[in-house]
Amino acid sequence: MIALKDILVVAPMLVLLVASLIPVMIKVFNSNREPAPFVTIAYSILGLVAAGFLTASMSGVKQTAFSDALVLDGMGVWGTYLVLGSAAFAIMMAYDHVDTYKRLFSEKCFLMMGSVIGTLTLLLSNDLIVTFLGIETMSLCIYILIAMSREEVLSKEASFKYFVLGSFASAIFLYGIAMIYGTVGSTQIPAITAKVGELLTNKNHLFYFGIGMLILGFAFKVSIFPFHFWTPDVYQGSPTPITAFMATAVKTATFIAMLRVFQSTGYQAEPKLMSALSWLAVMTMTVGNTAAILQKNFKRVLAYSSVAHSGYIMIGLIAAAFGDNYDSAAIIVLFYLFSYSIMTLGSFALIGILEKKVGVGLNVDDLKGLAKKHPVLAAALTVILFSLAGVPPTLGFFGKFSLFGVAIEQDLYWLAFWGVLNSVVSVYYYLRPVVVIYMTESDETSDELVATGGLAKATLVFTAALTVIIGLASSPLLEMVRAAVLNRH
């Protein structure tokens, strides 16, 4: 039955739920009048912070809850930090655009927190059905959030595309769960990972089918080729804070959920699975990077870059699932997720600062003259872009370094090689904004560049500083991640 420890595990979620409900309640009891955005956001942030503290208080814990439906371990704690952090930044960015969000702002925050709860559920799930629920909660809230944007055409289109494809992928995912349930007899992840080897060795076709569908269902959420097609469109059409949240928190949680599923040496029984996933990883990197080169819209560039990064992270996942050393791979995946999230938040923060109109975003060429008008922003963005490109001594470099390291440790030379080639390609488009910012003659003053949003600016500068600082001293972070991953149930 429900014990205190169960409540403790879900305490962050409860706190979030309460914190998100308060503004809505205020609204309800205040005859449907919108509370001040500041109040709304304060509750949300408070909730996030409180959730963070609650999580921190459980950092040493490793336990399951609710009849093994949830598991709280280091990986979960670490992921929770990331998700909460991303959510906090996203909400702060939304606050910067409060004039465009003013109506229904409390609902928006509420839904945002809803998706955070869903994300946390996904993150902590120890049961595929909980995973599914988490994904759905997260996604459904996000669909609505996207559609609630003031922007007419693009956001509706983005929302609907995401919705249809997401539901489609959910069905696939669910089909996979059904097959796994049928073959394993349970949907609990530990039960599944325990039987993976046996089922794969026996060539249980249903299980093959199930695990394949399951992975592909996950793959949709983290935009692995060929399930990535929604990504650029949806990222572009969504309000930037939502995009930032999707690109960081959702991805982080999904990847961690995948890590949980992949936590078994049994996968080594089927090398074909590995080569199939490797192909997907390679294709993802390639498609993401090459398509990004041709983009004009900065948000689309980042969307494709996010696709490409999923490809890189896949390398780590493959190493975790099919290598000899799950721990080291998982550590690196988490580390990479962290670095990726930091950089992505920073870059989306810049878009949030500069974009004229939600959804339309800004083109790379619009950045012309940024160095003159907002030198600090320009510098911060440049740092982040170099970090994304993997130039040392930034966080991005150490992320890539450790990721390729894991690949080589597990003898995944081809993946590492492709990763490197793709990194080179990526340099091209990451540096294009830098070229525009610094190297084009800014004779024509671009009055367009109106920077709004103090919090987003702070976010940008903060993340930029973080990339450099952690890049220079990555050891403590790495140690933290290591401790987190090793603290596993």
Could you say which residues in the range 28-87 bind other proteins, by CB under 8 A?
Answer: 65-67, 69-70
Q: 268: closest CA among 320, 224, 214?
A: 320
C-beta of 26 vs 427, nearer to other proteins: 427
Show contacts with other proteins in window 299-358 (CB under 8 A): 300, 357
Alpha carbon distance 87, 19 (integer Å): 14
136 binds other proteins (CB under 8 A): yes
Q: Which of 234, 456, 228, 247 is nearest to 359 (CA)?
A: 234
- Nearest alpha carbon to residue 173 among 216, 223, 231: 216
Where would I find the H helices in 30-104? 37-57, 74-96, 98-101
Which range in 51-59, 77-85, 160-168, 253-261 contacts other proteins by CB under 8 A?
Answer: 160-168
What span, in angstroms and rounded, lies between the C-alpha atoms of 306 and 342? Answer: 12
Site for other proteins in 375-394 (CB under 8 A): 386, 390-393
Residue selected from 140, 317, 351, 484 as contacting other proteins according to rule CB under 8 A = 140
Angle subtended by helix axes 189-201 and 205-221, to nearest 10: 130
Residues 177-196 that bind other proteins (CB under 8 A): 177-179, 181-183, 185-187
Binding of other proteins by 295 (CB under 8 A): yes
150 binds other proteins (CB under 8 A): yes
Sign of the C-alpha dihedral computed for residues 118, 234, 239 and 456 taken in this order:
positive
Q: For residue 306, what are the contacts with CB-CB under 8 A and spacing of at least 6?
A: 223, 231, 235, 247, 251, 288, 344
Distance, in Å, from the CA atom of 378 to the CA atom of 350, rounded to the nearest integer, reads 9
- The window from 47-55, 222-230, 246-254, 343-351 that contacts other proteins (CB under 8 A) reads 222-230
Phi, psi of 59 (to 5 degrees): -65, -25
159 near other proteins, rule: CB under 8 A: yes
CA–CA dist 486, 475 (Å, integer): 16
Distance of closest approach, residue 416 Cβ to other proteins, in angstroms: 5
Among 45, 405, 458, 468, binds other proteins (CB under 8 A): 405
Judge whether 248 and 341 are in contact, CB under 8 Å.
yes
- Give the shortest CB-112-to-other proteins separation in angstroms: 10
Output the six-digit token pair for 283.
Answer: 């294709």
Q: Which stretch, 39-47, 201-209, 362-370, 444-452, contacts other proteins (CB under 8 A)?
A: 201-209
Q: What is the 3-state secondary structure (H, E, C) of 303-357?
A: HHHHHHHHHHHHHHHHHHHHCCCHHHHHHHHHHHHHHHHHHHHHHHHHHHHHCCC
Using the rule CB under 8 A, is 160 a contact of other proteins? yes
The residue among 284 and 341 lying less far from other proteins, judged by its C-beta, is 284
Q: Does 286 bind other proteins (CB under 8 A)?
A: yes
Least separation in angstroms between residue 229's CB and other proteins is 4
Of 317, 336, 474, 484, the one binding other proteins (CB under 8 A) is 474
Contacting residue, 3, 198, 201, 205, with other proteins by CB under 8 A: 205
Residues 411-430 touching other proteins, rule: CB under 8 A, are 413, 416-417, 420, 423-425, 427-428
Minimal distance, residue 263 CB to other proteins, in Å? 17
Which residues in 100-119 contact other proteins (CB under 8 A)?
Answer: 102-104, 107-108, 110-111, 114, 117-118
Asked if residue 82 lies in contact with residue 338, where contact means CB atoms within 8 angstroms, the answer is yes
Residue of 151, 214, 223, 337 interacting with other proteins (CB under 8 A): 151
Q: Is 17 in the site for other proteins (CB under 8 A)?
A: yes
SS3 104: coil
Instruction: Select from 49-57, 198-206, 317-325, 337-345 the region that touches other proteins (CB under 8 A).
Output: 198-206
